[in-house]
Chain A
Amino acid sequence: MATNTLAANLKKSAIAALWLAFLTLPVMVIRVDTVEKTITWRWMHLLYMLVGSFVLAIAWHFMMDRRDRGAAARETEGGVQDSALSRTLNNPRVLRPLMALGFLVAATFPWVFSMYQTNILVSALIYVVLGLGLNITVGLAGLLDLGYVAFYAVGAYAYALLNYHFHLGFWTVLPMAAILGSFFGILLGFPVLRLRGDYLAIVTLGFGQIVKLVLENWNSFSFGPSGVSNISRPGLFGYSYSVEQATTYIYYIMLALVLLAILVTTRLKDSRIGRAWLALREDEIACQAMGIDNTRAKLMAFSLGATLAAVMGAVFAAKTTFINPASFSFMESAMILAIVVLGGMGSILGVILGAFLLILLPEYMRAFSEYRMLLFGATMILVMVFRPEGLIKARRKVYKINTETA
């Protein structure tokens, strides 16, 4: 039996490999340069495709078998098994020392490592918060927002322009960016309230594009594609500091904001509104029938997610001291979504892990960074097909009812 399925798998994989090689033949093998009028034939690519897709197809069929067997097992036994990783990481006896260690490393990082490393970590931390923000809208409330980066842009431009025109400092603008972000979240939230999941996705995508196009074209307001430069770094009670110290300073600001975001989202998740979000995600109609105000819950999710994004936008502008619309493309939204999906929708620990993986891996594996978006796309498909719960499965708080005292 086992050899039989193996043979069947190999045969299926061979057919799949031939099919994929045929499919990718024109694009992979032939390259036409219409300017120079030359044609390059790259037959080696055909071989790579054949071998590569054969290996991938074997893995795919193997995983597919496992998935189907898993589904069958779940049906007979009932109850979903957590993976080893989420079980270990959700175990407080492992988690607590790990968190303490993480905190220690985080607190001393800029003193131990170079400024370059610290800068990379700051961008990873920015994505952690962005991921946590999007996790509220997508992971908890189940509203697929594909224009999330628009709020990030709102925050960044709010700081850049207020700083340019009125010389307002970082700390003054930060709360203003937060308020502006939540305002924009509600602005987008209101019209889309009635829409179902997929329409919502497309409208938010359109909204993100509109914001980017306006920033690109409204030259008198946003300085167009060239962007805003010479944005001031955050102030420190009037002290002046060097570029190197600025990195350390922004790092600690970011660290504090990450901790705040983790605290807020964790508390929100188990709060009344958090439970309303989960109910909304699972079944909108049932949720309404239970007396939850859908409108309020959705608007809260949108505006809270947007607030976090806008705050991060302001930090981003202060960190790079230069912004332009190119930083706020759809690919950025897609990347943040990939972080949430890979990490595990609704799981805070998962999102943090996802952000570190997706931001730091391409950063340290330069050869691989060209293929970054390709792999992100593939990751999103594979995670959805084989592991819809992501790296770390979100856990719901279990409320124990003590029957003895009742």
Chain B
Amino acid sequence: MEYFLQLFFSGLSRGSVYALIALGYTMVYGIIELINFAHGEIYMIGAFTGLIVAGVLTSLGWPVLSILAVGIIVSVLYSAAYGYTVEKIAYKPLRNAPRLAPLISAIGMSILLQNYIMLAQTPDFLPFPRLIPDFAFMAPYQSFLDTGDLFIISTSLVVMVALTLFIKFTRMGKAMRATAQNRKMAMLVGVNVDQVISMTFIIGSGLAAVGGVLIAAHVGQINFYIGFIAGLKAFTAAVLGGIGSIPGAVLGGLVLGWTESFATGYVSSDYEDVFAFCLLILILIFRPAGLLGKQRAQKV
């Protein structure tokens, strides 16, 4: 039972991080129907910014929790700025181009960012400082739920609730929903679509950065390549839940997290990534609209 609970919670924390990244994919896809391949790289840049901030603040002798807080805030801001810039450079000029064009430029952007970090920082794995301390009150549950997992789960929950409230109740959130439903109509009723798209990239990138710093602090090491696999898995989560749907992305992330956690715990750990990709292919074949997505007829 304890082993089961341990897998359950590690799957939950893993799934929450997938969900955080998947939200970015799903929001962007909902609005401009583009798979933002560079999204995983934004997450990786978030983790690197967190590492740099943590390194500098540690040398100044700050307390651990405040380093974590500042690290998350700075990397969210930076990642959001990256997301905004990536959209302006690689996607905006291609708004009216054939579908394949932004997809290819997204792949180009992903390769560019990966190599930029590799050249500017390091090609090797860097140990990430331990920023999540062991709380005393957690001691009785330590055997199946460690503090890192708890921290990730609760932070993600707060962020997701905040996002839901933002989308539901703010003016910008309303504009986003309108644009996702029908971009042309939204434009006609006076929604500044360019602004909405920029905002979507900013929010999505910020969420990915939260995930990046949390997972890096939990796992304890990063390198320039982590964004690629994480991005692919988060995309799987988004598709699993139904791309374009925000609750779907969260559900998809959790399902994927649990699948991986239980599969590696009970079956084999060698094929950890294969499970995710097989899941992706199976969903796309049998239920392309995902768990919560609506089956829509293709417009002609």
Give A residues with C-beta under 8 Å from B: 19-20, 22-24, 26-28, 30-35, 37, 39, 45, 64, 67, 138, 142, 144, 146, 191-192, 194-199, 201-203, 205-207, 209-210, 213-214, 217, 285, 330-331, 334, 337-338, 341, 345, 370-371, 373-374, 376-381, 384-385, 388
- Collect the chain B residues with CB atoms within 8 Å of residue A214's CB: 274
B224 to chain A minimum Cβ distance, whole angstroms, is 10
- Collect the chain A residues with CB atoms within 8 Å of residue B97's CB: 384, 388
The answer to whether residues A385 and B232 also contact, given A26-B53, A34-B51, A197-B100 and a CB cut-off of 8 A, is: no
- Collect the chain A residues with CB atoms within 8 Å of residue B155's CB: none
Give B residues with C-beta under 8 Å from A: 33-35, 45, 48-49, 51-56, 59, 74, 78, 81-82, 85, 89-90, 93-94, 97-105, 107-117, 119-122, 126-129, 228, 232, 235-236, 239, 270-271, 273-274, 277-278, 280-281, 284-285, 288, 298, 300
Interface contact B105-A384, CB-CB below 8 Å: yes
Interface contact A197-B273, CB-CB below 8 Å: no
- Collect the chain B residues with CB atoms within 8 Å of residue A379's CB: 108
Cβ 8 A contact of A380, one of B35, B105, B116, B228: B105
In Å, the complex CA distance between A194 and B289 comes to: 12
Residue of B nearest to A45 (CB): B120
- Collect the chain B residues with CB atoms within 8 Å of residue A207's CB: 277, 281
Interface contact B119-A374, CB-CB below 8 Å: yes
A63 to chain B minimum Cβ distance, whole angstroms, is 10
Interface contact A191-B89, CB-CB below 8 Å: no
A79 to chain B minimum Cβ distance, whole angstroms, is 19
A-B contact pairs, 7 of them (CB 8 A): A27-B121, A209-B232, A213-B277, A285-B300, A370-B119, A384-B94, A385-B93
- Collect the chain A residues with CB atoms within 8 Å of residue B285's CB: 191-192, 194
- Collect the chain B residues with CB atoms within 8 Å of residue A385's CB: 90, 93-94, 105
In Å, the complex CA distance between A197 and B34 comes to: 10
Residue of A nearest to B59 (CB): A39
- Collect the chain A residues with CB atoms within 8 Å of residue B102's CB: 384
Interface contact A205-B232, CB-CB below 8 Å: yes
Cβ 8 A contact of A202, one of B49, B59, B235, B278: B235
Interface contact B274-A210, CB-CB below 8 Å: yes
- Collect the chain A residues with CB atoms within 8 Å of residue B116's CB: 24, 27, 374
Cβ 8 A contact of A209, one of B120, B129, B273: B273
Residue of A nearest to B268 (CB): A217
Prevailing SS type, chain B contact patch: helix
- Collect the chain A residues with CB atoms within 8 Å of residue B270's CB: 217
Residue of B nearest to A60 (CB): B89
Residue of B nearest to A380 (CB): B108
- Collect the chain B residues with CB atoms within 8 Å of residue A67's CB: 93
- Collect the chain A residues with CB atoms within 8 Å of residue B298's CB: 196, 285
A256 to chain B minimum Cβ distance, whole angstroms, is 32
A25 to chain B minimum Cβ distance, whole angstroms, is 9
Interface contact B235-A27, CB-CB below 8 Å: no
- Collect the chain B residues with CB atoms within 8 Å of residue A210's CB: 274, 277-278
- Collect the chain A residues with CB atoms within 8 Å of residue B93's CB: 64, 67, 385
Looking at B102, B278, B280, B300, which has the most chain A CB atoms within 10 Å of its CB?
A: B280
Nearest 10 CB-CB pairings of A with B: A380-B108, A32-B55, A377-B112, A377-B111, A206-B277, A374-B115, A384-B105, A381-B108, A217-B270, A381-B105
15 new A-B contacts at CB < 8 Å, known A34-B51, A377-B110, A388-B97: A23-B82, A26-B52, A27-B117, A30-B56, A64-B93, A195-B284, A203-B284, A206-B281, A210-B277, A331-B111, A371-B115, A380-B108, A384-B94, A384-B105, A384-B108
A1 to chain B minimum Cβ distance, whole angstroms, is 24
Cβ 8 A contact of A30, one of B52, B85, B99, B101: B52
